[in-house]
Chains A and B, each alone.
Chain A
Amino acid sequence: MTVLVLMEDGDPSRQTLTLARAWDGELHAVGVDAVEPFAPDALAAMLQRAADDLGAAAVLAAGTDRGNDVMARLAARTGLPLAANCIAAQPADPVRVTRQRWGGSLLETATLHGSRPLLTVAPYSFRITEGPEPIAVDAKKYIDMLDPRDRVVRVSEHIDPPGGGVSLAEAKVVVSGGRGVGSREGFAIIEELAGLLGARVGCSRVVTSAGWRPHTDQVGQTGTKISPELYIACGISGATQHMAGCKGAKKILAINADPEAPIMSLADYSVVGDLKEVVPAISAEIRKHR
């Protein structure tokens, strides 16, 4: 039995191998960089041909932007079902998977019916394990077989990010404000505390929808998923879509006027009170200790 994996640089692909080894077969891999510049239809065509040649029992990829994109194309061109963002799979007939819905706030058990199950693996749901490394597929052979139509969709240009500072996703400390901040100007005290902690400022979806902060600051299911050492959530109720973005934080401190807000029981530490009083008091206290 063989399993084919689409490999990218980084941990999510290494974690995907952990699940792929559940098939207890020989692993083969196509690198996401096999086609340069990135051309997702071409990669899907290569995966299709390689899986056919290998008689692969399943095709897996990490549930990253690239992984989900290429695997959905493979699903579309083969008419096979795709289960995205799996956190478990049992190789049987039919394959039974557990997958994330609502950004991980809900789990779905499902069965996949088709000749070859296609799965993407939710990032950071598996440990990286030691085991047989995948055998690289002879990419050149499949590149020579590509149809020009499979290269119509390709990256033609890369724009570097506007410089400056650590990204929200990589920040060690994030201080976020929600509806309770009240206005664009209200973020001054959040920025002040973030400055003292060397933290990045984040926010909830309510805040970006109101236009108080740019979407690049949004933490949540449809914003950025973060995993800092500390997350300070000020005036954020803790809706599931927000928690989907910050559950990777090692510690969460919630500051909220409403002791019944969901976040007050989802955090490690809580302070009940008006953030407009609590946040400046914390900043003042930090200054005293300098």
Chain B
Amino acid sequence: MKILVCVKRVPFTGGKMVLAPDRTALETRHLGFTISPHEECGVEEAVDAMALGIDRAIHLKTDGSEWDGEATAAAIVGAIRADEEASGPFDLIFAGNESADAGGYQVGLRVAYALGRPCATGLKGVKVEGSSVRCEQDTGTGRDVYVLPLPAVVTVKEGLNLPRYPSVPGRMRAARKPMTTLNRPERAEQNLRLVELSVPGGPGRQTKLLGSGASAAPAVVETLKEIGVV
């Protein structure tokens, strides 16, 4: 079994979205970075399935500019094809259902189509059973099940599992794993072109301070009565 997990590095935002001066990206000088939550679960699922951890990594390092879903998928497909040529095919490819930042909802499916492999999306259950993979998708009224023949692509959502926090020895082991960096992969033509970002304004809410500590309880209950929930 050979598994690939696609992850995207995204800014670790806090309580406020602050734009860079040119308004085409977030101001990230004061932010850390993380991977999209859905993809964290993809990594956990793959590590769990393999029972040993990640063997190696491929880093597609861009110039940091905005890439649309089509260009992103094309770069990933290029890397997958080259890797499969050299080291054999992946049985299962994980992607996040959508990235935390751009939220394009398409990269995993575009990769699947380019490779001619079946794909199920938004999964909260993934189980390899022989030469197929059983996929469970939350529908709000239960779960739909898909059974895909391998090789396949699956896109997953947070809630699939509970990702572990990497231990210190785990991080040290990971640092010794081979990583191939593909610097500035060619960017395909952008057909969804970002013009500008903005922080949604609107009237917002007027906050009324009801009090401090336990002595605020009567005022809170008065308010709950006004709203009609008590």
Contact = CB atoms under 8 A, between A and B. Distances in A.
Given A159-B145, A197-B230, A107 B104 contact: no
Interface string A219-238: 00111000001100000011
Interface string B99-133: 01111111001101110001111100000000000
Nearest to B38: A222
Contact of A285 (B16, B68, B213, B217): B217
Contacts of A267: 205, 207
B1 interface: no
B122 A65 contact: yes
Nearest to B209: A270
A241 B100 contact: yes
B199 to A, nearest CB: 6
Contacts of B65: none
A108 B195 CA distance: 7
A72 B106 contact: yes
A80 interface: yes
A103 B104 CA distance: 11
Contact of A102 (B17, B205, B230): B17
Contacts of A221: 100
Give the dominant DSSP class at A's interface.
Answer: mixed
A159 B136 contact: yes
Interface in B198-228: 198-200, 204-218, 220-221, 223-225, 227-228
A152 B149 contact: yes
Nearest to B111: A76
Nearest to A252: B205
B35 to A, nearest CB: 12
Contacts of A113: 190-193
B67 to A, nearest CB: 12
Size bin of chain B's contact surface: 35 or more
Contact of A229 (B102, B118, B229): B229
Give the dominant DSSP class at B's interface.
Answer: mixed
Contacts of A75: 69-70, 106, 109-110
B140 A167 contact: yes
A268 B206 contact: yes
B227 A251 contact: yes
Contacts of B220: 253, 269, 271, 278, 282, 285
A68 to B, nearest CB: 4
Contacts of A252: 205
Interface string B180-197: 000000000011111111
Interface string A72-116: 110111011111110000000000100011111111111111100
A285 B217 CA distance: 6
Interface centre among A75, A80, A83 (most CB of B within 10 A): A75
Interface string A253-286: 1100000011111111111111001101110111
A34 to B, nearest CB: 17
Pairs A-B, 8 closest by C-beta atoms: A262-B15, A215-B159, A76-B113, A81-B191, A281-B214, A281-B217, A72-B106, A157-B145
Interface of A: 38, 40-41, 63, 65, 68-69, 71-73, 75-77, 79-85, 96, 100-114, 120, 152-161, 167, 169, 172-173, 197, 199, 205, 208-209, 211, 215-216, 218, 221-223, 229-230, 237-241, 251-254, 261-274, 277-278, 280-282, 284-286, 289
19 contacts: A69-B109, A72-B106, A73-B109, A81-B70, A84-B104, A96-B195, A102-B13, A105-B199, A158-B144, A167-B140, A229-B229, A240-B13, A240-B15, A253-B210, A266-B204, A267-B207, A269-B220, A269-B223, A273-B212
Given A106-B26, A241-B13, 14 more contacts: A77-B113, A82-B69, A82-B104, A96-B195, A106-B17, A109-B195, A111-B195, A153-B119, A197-B229, A209-B162, A271-B210, A281-B216, A282-B221, A285-B221
